[in-house]
Amino acid sequence: MLHPIASIGKTVFQASGGEVMGFLIQEYDRLKTVISMDFLPQENRIKFDIYKQAGDDKPLSKEILKDIVSIPNEKGMRPQFSPTTTNLSYLLTQTLPNLTDFLPEETNLKKKLSKIVIQFFEHYEEKGGRKTSFVLKDTYLSEWDVAFDSSDRSLKARIQDYATRLEKALSEKFGNKPAETIYTVLVDGEPIASHKEYQDFVLQKNLESAFEETVESTCSVCGYEGKVTQDTARFQFKFYMTDKVNFASYFNNQNFYKAVALCPECYRNLLVGEKWAMKNLKTRLGGFDVYILPQVMWQGNGQAVSTIFSKMKKLPDEFNEIRNIKILRERERDVLMKVKQSPALQENPFIWNFLFFRQAQAAFKILMLIKDVPPSRILEITKAIHEIEGVKNRLFPDREGLFFDLDQIYWIIPMRKKGADLQEYRKVLQIYYHIFTDLQLDATQLYSLYAQLAHLHHFQTYPLFQIGQQKNPDLALAYDTIKWNLFLLFLKKMRLIKGGSIMEDQALESYFPDGMKEAFQELGYNAAQQGLALLGYVLGAVANAQYREGLENKPVLEKINYQGMTDEKVTRLFNELFEKIRQYKRHIGYAERWWAAGKKLYESGRDLPMSSDERVFYLLSGYALNVLRVSKSETETLES
């Protein structure tokens, strides 16, 4: 994945005119106030004040954050050095001492900060020498009634308490909310972040420090031969292990370059590309976070770069059209135009890559990478989803909550979870992989996944899976069953599973419930599948009759084996439902006709191979069609 990110970075760097600092700035949606911590050595005091504040309940602008050089905190246990941070405890302890050590010798800023550290900070050592730290002398916070705890508690706990009490005092004075506040250090009224010496240091830290130790080798991205670095510590996307010796060739820390080696230009492009992608190319698919990482195929300068950059910014919006049907509906006219003008895709400069990931604090875990998806594939998916939306509108025009898109796949395939972590996320990611890469899926395994969903709804084992508790499990099963029908139809249109041959028998069609013929044609049911669906439709009619008679749990539904329906069990169910039709005849009208047509169709297609889970699917599909009513006709539900 180095090549796509580097190509993103190269495009963004060129489009920005070669300016790098802006890409290092961390933006926050929640921050509204900047509070300054102004060291006044001549007056021997510290002054706190509101430095900047967003107006109209908006977050701080990028211009303000750039002015105070808001860069991310160092990850993990690395020393903190940024004079602008949301973590006030850093400014009360390590930031200025660390920055003083890091700045180059003989710089004016280093000399100034060195005097500040000596004058305003005191060195503490925890008992046993486990931890030492500089801490701001609490005499400078006396006006805020904040003192440093001198108890035997851990130094870390005492520092955190120190910062928390100061945050509270500042909040009471200025009316800011700590969670919406960022702090920046000034010396004699001048922000440290505005010093050129500090900004040069930040750039050096991000771009040049990785080349303090180099080897002679070949760049993994561009093929440049010369001095390269194996240091990827400052990158967020961890494609290679470069901090654990057991991942190095011959277990030697000096051999990480054999896995990844970067020249200065590609290192810069990767850093810029990663920062820009994290801000501009992040979206979601189902419940997964995903980065869209395009491989830029065009080369050029000037206007060509501007065109590529403009198209690249729109990629998340294009992707959202196929993942979320609501967005597709809003942009239906544009989507249809795009489908009609498919030859224009030759002008698309990107190959799509999808990086699925999970972020937990500082830990970045890659779940799956789907590489090299051509723009023509994105168009095919868009076209197929639009066609599925048409099928849904014809069969269920009044069911707004019933739809299919790529997001829905996540919610109709049960994945076991442990706490907030999904244990079976690969089940869904593998399906996405097959869809984007045009690889055939095993229909038998898909029916097995549906059977798991039906089992979940029937036995209401929601807490074990990512699917939330449903108020009406029976109705939820009906909705999800129809969504599965639309999902399988989508896969057939994408040629990812085989479609069956539709059986047409005009004599039998006259026995179908109103609307079922159209449903069978749209969904592509063969004879046996139609027979099972009609049996399921009768099952729904009996269940409804039982409900009318006060049996709210609909006991007839217990005759379905959610672990799988063999041919013998289906035959037994046909016989049992025939007796139920006689029992509840006054409630279910034409059920004998539906039963007879279903039995004949099922027996005519009996020779076709069908798994136990597949029988469950088509049986419950007929039940779902009854629950959601493919027809609004009252004739079939009137007492006869």
**Is it the case that residue 302 has pLDDT exceeding 80?**
no
Q: How many CA atoms lie within 13 Å of 529's alpha carbon, on the beta-carbon side?
A: 24
SS3 241: coil
Contact (Cβ atoms closer than 8 angstroms) between residue 522 and residue 404 = no
**Is it the case that residue 452 has pLDDT exceeding 90?**
yes
43: confidence class by pLDDT, cuts 50, 70, 90 = very high
- The pLDDT value recorded for residue 245 is 45
Q: 233 or 116: which carries more pLDDT confidence? A: 116
Distance, CA of 496 to CA of 373 (rounded, Å): 16
Q: Which residues of 127-156 are buried (b: 16+ CB within 10 A; e: fewer)?
A: eeeeeebbbbebebbeebebebeeeeeebe
By C-alpha distance, which of 461, 349, 453 is closest to 409? Answer: 453
Q: If you average pLDDT over every residue of the chain, what do you get?
A: 87
**What phi and psi values does residue 104 have, to the nearest 5 degrees?**
-60, 150
- The pLDDT value recorded for residue 501 is 62
Mean pLDDT of 389-400: 90
Q: Which token pair is 126?
A: 């925890």
By C-alpha distance, which of 424, 478, 448 is closest to 563? Answer: 448
> Over the stretch 438-447, which tens digit does the pLDDT of each residue have?
999 999 999 9
Q: CA angle, corner 463, sides to 459 and 467, nearest 5?
A: 85
Mean pLDDT of 486-506: 83
**Is it the case that residue 634 has pLDDT exceeding 70?**
no
**Is it the case that residue 344 has pLDDT exceeding 80?**
no
- The pLDDT value recorded for residue 635 is 33
Q: Which token pair is 604?
A: 């005519």
- The pLDDT value recorded for residue 617 is 98
**Is it the case that residue 248 has pLDDT exceeding 50?**
no
The full DSSP string for 537-603 is: HHHHHHHHHHHHTT-TT-GGGGGS-TT---HHHHHHHHHHHHHHHHHTHHHHTTHHHHHHHHHHHHH
Lowest mean pLDDT among 357-361, 382-386, 403-407: 357-361
Q: CA angle, corner 266, sides to 366 and 317, nearest 5?
A: 55
Contact (Cβ atoms closer than 8 angstroms) between residue 482 and residue 628 = yes
Contact (Cβ atoms closer than 8 angstroms) between residue 426 and residue 366 = no
The full DSSP string for 443-500 is: HHHHHHHHHHHHHHHHHT-GGGBSSPP-S-HHHHHHHHHHHHHHHHHHHHHTTSSPPP
360: confidence class by pLDDT, cuts 50, 70, 90 = confident
Contact (Cβ atoms closer than 8 angstroms) between residue 620 and residue 456 = no
- The pLDDT value recorded for residue 340 is 58
Q: Which token pair is 529?
A: 């599948």
Lowest mean pLDDT among 132-136, 231-235, 403-407, 415-419: 231-235
- The pLDDT value recorded for residue 209 is 79
**Is it the case that residue 283 has pLDDT exceeding 50?**
yes
Mean pLDDT of 492-507: 77
Domain ranges for the chain: 2-23+212-280, 31-204, 282-480, 500-637
- The pLDDT value recorded for residue 129 is 67
341: confidence class by pLDDT, cuts 50, 70, 90 = low
By C-alpha distance, which of 400, 432, 394, 380 is closest to 326? Answer: 400
> Over the stretch 88-140, which tens digit does the pLDDT of each residue have?
999 999 999 999 999 988 889 999 999 999 999 999 987 766 778 999 999 99
Q: How many CA atoms lie within 13 Å of 552's alpha carbon, on the beta-carbon side?
A: 2
Burial group, residue 324, by CB count within 10 angstroms (0-12, 13-18, 19+)? buried
Q: What is the 3-state secondary structure (H, E, C) of 55-107?
A: CCCCCCCHHHHHHCCCCCCCCCCCCCCCCEECCHHHHHCCHHHHHHHHCCCCC
In the beta sheet, which residues pair with residue 505? Answer: none
CA torsion sign, 225 to 227 to 231 to 232?
negative
Burial group, residue 216, by CB count within 10 angstroms (0-12, 13-18, 19+)? exposed
338: confidence class by pLDDT, cuts 50, 70, 90 = low
In the beta sheet, which residues pair with residue 184? Answer: 36, 84
Q: 613 or 151: which carries more pLDDT confidence? A: 613
335: confidence class by pLDDT, cuts 50, 70, 90 = low
Contact (Cβ atoms closer than 8 angstroms) between residue 2 and residue 277 = no
Mean pLDDT of 177-196: 96
Burial group, residue 621, by CB count within 10 angstroms (0-12, 13-18, 19+)? buried
Lowest mean pLDDT among 95-99, 304-308, 323-327, 468-472: 323-327
**Is it the case that residue 236 has pLDDT exceeding 90?**
no
